[in-house]
Amino acid sequence: MGSGLRYEVIVGNLGRVYAGKSRLDANLMFREYRKKSDRGYGRVAGEAVTMFRDGEPVREHRGAARIVSGFLEGEHESYQG
């Protein structure tokens, strides 16, 4: 008898936020963290979110933006001296 499918949800800046056998729970966590990423919520802001089934990616959110040295990618500091 097999152990069944195993699901994981990985968030770029946090790591694994779900690991288990419930597809429903994995999907709920994926959606929750995707929303947080898009809304710019805390450490999750702009981060990638990926759901895996038995080690293979099945859902992927690339993230809204990447933070580089305190600035969003593509932004720059403007000196008005």
Q: Where are the domains of the chain?
A: 7-72
52 vs 72, residue with greater confidence: 52
Whole-angstrom distance, CA of residue 74 vs CA of residue 71 = 8
Going by pLDDT thresholds of 50, 70 and 90, the confidence category of residue 66 is low
Q: What is the pTM of this model?
A: 0.74
Whole-angstrom distance, CA of residue 32 vs CA of residue 38 = 10
Tell me which of 2-6, 64-68, 69-73 is least confident.
69-73
Q: What is the pLDDT of residue 78?
A: 40
Averaged over 28-49, what is the pLDDT? 93
